[in-house]
Amino acid sequence: MPLNKSEPVLIIGAGTFGLSTAHKLATLGHTNVAVLEKDDRVPSRFSGGFDLNKIIRSEYIDPFYTDVALQAIRQWQTSPLYQPHFRQVGFLNVITGEAPPVVQNALFKYNKSVAENPAFDGYLVPCQDAAAIRKVASQFTGELPGWKGYLNRLAGYAQASNAMQAVYKECVKLGVVFHVGLAGEVEELLYEATDGNDKMCIGARTKDGVVHTARTTIVAAGGFVANVLPAIGPQISAVCWGVSHIQLTPSESEALRGFPVTTVRDIGFFFEPDPATHKIKICYMGGGYTNVTAQKGGLSVPYASLAESEYIPEKDVKQTRRLLRQVLPHIAERPLIDQHLCWVADTGNSDFIIDFVPGTTNNSLAVLSGDSGHGFKMMPIVGDWAADLLSNGEQKLPRWRWREPKVADKDGRPTHIAWRATATIDLSSTPRAKL
């Protein structure tokens, strides 16, 4: 039965996918939307989107996502809600002279995905050596050893937590109700038995003991999804990357501003200094880290507290400094501040999972998950996918359906993903950086 606009909808997680969905449903006229969020504020510090900035680009090894990301970019460019938080500074996608063949090949495929799409005509600039790169990023004073790739000017970055804040405020204006902290942290989903083996989800209980009933419950809990919806565990692995920042003075920041978002595929990525805080955000890419725990039956889940995620591994520090020495040597040895691990929900093949949960009746339980570390750019259109799912009563796109894991090792963890430089390793076997 289709969802009536006055029936209660409960969204679990006020992160990237949850906020977008709440906003979309409210703009479509749904009058009874509530969001539960475990942090005591929104934007949530547990969200993978809670960052100064996120890359907004459309190059993908799989051209399906190039088209989807392009739709999202059009919204970042034009939507009154999202546009103020988008900076179309371009995306410089390069490798160093030491990049292994697998990374060289990935760069080739990324370039192809946009070069063969007419939407990018006039936006792409080949950068075959350091001199060509300096023409589009004159701030780069380092040697850029062996660097080559291309610049895509139909791309840039979003001021991520600012965008989330704006969407949150708009949701509140539209009547969406938020419960946060213990009043928002879901302890368990609640079900009613129906015919046969099926059950109907009737809402969720939060840590303060309150029961929130709903006609439809939508789980958008990011890397934490398996805590809320254990059945999805075999399809999802929580994976994190280490993020850190360099604090510049206002004049240093001014001098460096204006370069494109830069991804050096075999090391990491970084952004121009943030105009408000004068911080440069930088991240070593690698294959990411899991936190596999026996308690969760060998699944990887994020650390439970924010404090546990406030560090980056030693390897990340080394690679971050290596990257900076190559590109901006004068700041390469500065303190790496605001370190934290940023968590996502990885699927075996990086496809999202946007579907109803099998075994639940009456379209009572849906899940938006499997962001696989590339979901922030989609924020302006995730709500459309959720609304389509609810109105169609099924996921029409096979690749976004609930599925049994295919590309996983015997522990249920994804194996090496083609667009990442190296395989995922567990945090337990990775030394922490000495502060």
Ligand X SMILES: Cc1cc2nc3c(=O)[nH]c(=O)nc-3n(C[C@H](O)[C@H](O)[C@H](O)COP(=O)(O)OP(=O)(O)OC[C@H]3O[C@@H](n4cnc5c(N)ncnc54)[C@H](O)[C@@H]3O)c2cc1C
- Choosing from 65, 147, 241, 259, the residue that interacts with ligand X (CB under 6 A) is 241
Two tokens, residue 239: 């994976």
Q: Which stretch binds ligand X (CB under 6 A): 88-96, 222-230, 317-325, 386-394?
A: 222-230
User: Cα–Cα distance between 425 and 230 in angstroms, integer?
Assistant: 22
- Choosing from 3, 11, 16, 106, the residue that interacts with ligand X (CB under 6 A) is 16
Select 3 or 36, whichever has its Cβ closest to ligand X: 36
Q: Which stretch binds ligand X (CB under 6 A): 32-40, 326-334, 392-400, 402-410?
A: 32-40
- Choosing from 137, 189, 202, 228, the residue that interacts with ligand X (CB under 6 A) is 228
E-strand stretches of 120-278: 124-127, 148-152, 156-158, 177-180, 186-193, 199-206, 211-213, 216-219, 237-247, 261-264, 268-270
User: Cα–Cα distance between 84 and 229 in angstroms, integer?
Assistant: 35
Nearest one of 241, 269, 273, 427 to 340, comparing CA atoms:
241
Q: Which stretch binds ligand X (CB under 6 A): 35-43, 210-218, 244-252, 353-361?
A: 35-43
**x/- string (CB under 6 A) for ligand X, residues 330-369?**
------------x-x-------------------------
Residue 290 amino acid letter = T
Is residue 222 a contact residue for ligand X (CB under 6 A)?
Answer: yes
Select 124 or 312, whichever has its Cβ closest to ligand X: 312
What residues numbered 119-178 form the site for ligand X, per CB under 6 A? Answer: none
The two counts, helices (H) then strands (E), for the chain are 9, 24
C-alpha distances in angstroms, 160 versus 45, 56, 166, 173, 254? 12, 10, 10, 20, 21
Q: Which stretch binds ligand X (CB under 6 A): 251-259, 312-320, 375-383, 406-414?
A: 375-383
Select 76 or 132, whichever has its Cβ closest to ligand X: 76
**x/- string (CB under 6 A) for ligand X, residues 36-55?**
xxxx----x-xxxx----xx
Angle between helices 379-392 and 160-173 (to 10 degrees): 50
> In 28-153, which ranges are continuous DSSP H helix?
63-78, 101-115, 130-136
- End-to-end CA distance of the chain: give it in Å, rounded: 57
CB of 164 to ligand X, least distance (A): 8
User: Cα–Cα distance between 194 and 179 in angstroms, integer?
Assistant: 29
Ranked by CB distance to ligand X, the top (closest) residue is 15
In the complex, the residues that contact ligand X under the rule CB under 6 A are 12-18, 36-39, 44, 46-49, 54-55, 184-186, 220-224, 227-228, 241, 243, 283, 342, 344, 371, 373-377
